[in-house]
Amino acid sequence: MNEELLLDIEKIRQYILEYNTGLSLSVHPYEIADLLIEIEEEDKRLYQELLAELPHILLAEVLVELPKLLQEEFYLAHGAKELAELTQELDTDDAADLIQHIEVVDEAKAGDILSNLSSEDRDTIEELISYNANEAGAYMQVEVFSAHTDETIGDSIKRLKHMKATNQVSNVHHVFVVSGRKKFLGMIPLEDLILHGPKEYYKDIIEAEGKITVSIKDSDEIKEAIEAVSNYDLSVIPVVNEKGTLLGRITSDDIYDIIEEEATDQIYHLAGVNDEAEHEESLWKVGKARGVWLGLNLLTAIAASLVIGLFDTTIQSLVALAVLMPIVASMGGNAGTQTLTVTVRQMALGDIDLDEAKETIYKEVVVSLMNGMLYALVMGLIAYWWFALPMLGVVIGAAMMINLLSAGFFGAVIPLGLKRFGIDPAIGSTVLLTTVTDVVGFFSFLGLATMVLL
């Protein structure tokens, strides 16, 4: 056993000792999970032993920080009763995620876990997992620190101390002020409460100083929560129902996770890869998911080849055309990818709306035209110098301008068009754009060459 591994083991056992003796844990559960991952890679048996040594509450917090694969191994190796005990130690949003993940691995076990929970916890989790994946309610936790307008600051702080001591709530930065029927009125940062006396009422603070009233409905799309947190610089956002009743909250750590997942999905989709399929252990399923997009790409390549076939006589008459064709197609493809990537990303961030489509298309066309003119001149001179044919330089320069212009236009139009029809613009855009740039590039270059050079 190497020295670094021994040091990792010692660190974990020291953290366990801290936790068991009632001391405040000096690290985040993520750091313990990170150490366990390193140990698991070196010694599987030792990894299992250390997991077994973790106290239940700490184990639950560490478990959600482990990679999906290690989580699945844990679910399969432990019974429903033990997993139910761990579930009860988690915040409700993490508990709901855990149940949904177990459902994918073993649906029957997920049902058994729910049946082992208290009726209150079971009802809460079932309500959370009933939301659609794109709804804000699916990401909220119901544990909140709220205070009634007729409550004093002192009384609410005493209640918060009890809630913290009994692990009923964590990561509290705001108090949610509600009326008699839990109607959300606004939230106040805890740091602002130190400016007020313990006998002051919340209704007086709200009337005198106001409050943060930003909230989202449980049925709203999660992207609206992301925009609100970003626009208002919030660390938490309250979730209400149609009547304005406070249901829960979404914390910034969940927002960051969602942003990361969306960015990952976009990268995968632009490459024609399915995120879920890539996490499959079956090579057949991974290969099948990728193969669909490769098949579509093959069809687009055949389309481009058919265009080339129309001008086979032209190519045979002037071999230089075969040498220069890939340059025209490559420049168009890269220019289109630039436009496509920028457009898709800005749409995801909400910087581009369908109502602003004309402005976006105009901007991308102008930029592409500027680059097209520059590189048309450069490539025209290179072609003239290379093959000593002045008109060949004119032909490739004109073809490059046409292709870069179409790349800029369709690089913006394709994702905007897919969005208009309710299709994720990151899916399929690359394949469609490749077809356009290849076909336009080859057709314009070889067509012009046929008219001008032969």
- Residue 71 within any structural domain of the chain: yes
Residues 298 and 447 in one domain: yes
Q: Hey, CA dihedral for 150, 242, 214, 175, is it positive or negative?
A: positive
**3-state secondary structure (DSSP) of residue 177:** strand
Residues 28 and 165 in one domain: no
- pLDDT tens for each residue of 99-116: 988 888 888 999 999 999
Distance (Å, whole) CA 55 – CA 15: 11
Structure tokens at 22: 């009632």
Residues 124 and 164 in one domain: no
* Long-range pairs for 34-43: beta carbons < 8 A, 24 or more residues apart: 34/65, 35/8, 35/11, 36/12, 36/62, 36/66, 37/66, 37/67, 37/70, 38/5, 38/8, 39/5, 39/8, 39/9, 39/12, 40/70, 42/1, 42/2, 42/5, 43/1, 43/5
Structure tokens at 246: 């406070």
- Residue 88 clears pLDDT 70, i.e. is over it: yes
Q: What is the mean pLDDT of residues 111-135?
A: 91
- Residue 244 clears pLDDT 90, i.e. is over it: yes
- Residue 160 within any structural domain of the chain: yes
Residues 150 and 84 in one domain: no
Per DSSP (E only), the strands in 203-295 are 216-217, 236-240, 246-251
Q: Which of 82, 108, 134 is the last residue in one of the domains?
A: 134
- Residue 180 clears pLDDT 90, i.e. is over it: no
- Residue 128 within any structural domain of the chain: yes
- Residue 318 within any structural domain of the chain: yes
Q: Which of 77, 106, 134 is the last residue in one of the domains?
A: 134
- Residue 204 within any structural domain of the chain: yes
Residues 199 and 341 in one domain: no
Q: Which of 134, 162, 180 is the last residue in one of the domains?
A: 134
Q: Hey, CA dihedral for 398, 399, 403, 406, is it positive or negative?
A: positive
Q: Containing domain of residue 32, as a range?
A: 3-134
Residues 15 and 57 in one domain: yes
Q: Which residues of 316-329 are buried (b: 16+ CB within 10 A; e: fewer)?
A: eebebbeebbebbb
Residues 117 and 202 in one domain: no
Residues 293 and 338 in one domain: yes
Residues 35 and 170 in one domain: no
Write the CATH number for 332.
1.10.357.20
- Residue 263 within any structural domain of the chain: no
Count the domains in the chain: 3
Distance (Å, whole) CA 415 – CA 436: 13
User: Which of 393, 394, 396 shows the shortest CA–CA distance to 384?
Assistant: 393
Residues 407 and 283 in one domain: yes
Residues 189 and 282 in one domain: no
| The predicted structure's pLDDT at residue 278 | 47
Residues 193 and 85 in one domain: no
- Residue 344 clears pLDDT 70, i.e. is over it: yes
Percent of the chain with pLDDT over 70: 89
Write the CATH number for 226.
3.10.580.10
| The predicted structure's pLDDT at residue 184 | 93
| The predicted structure's pLDDT at residue 432 | 80
Write the CATH number for 48.
1.25.60.10
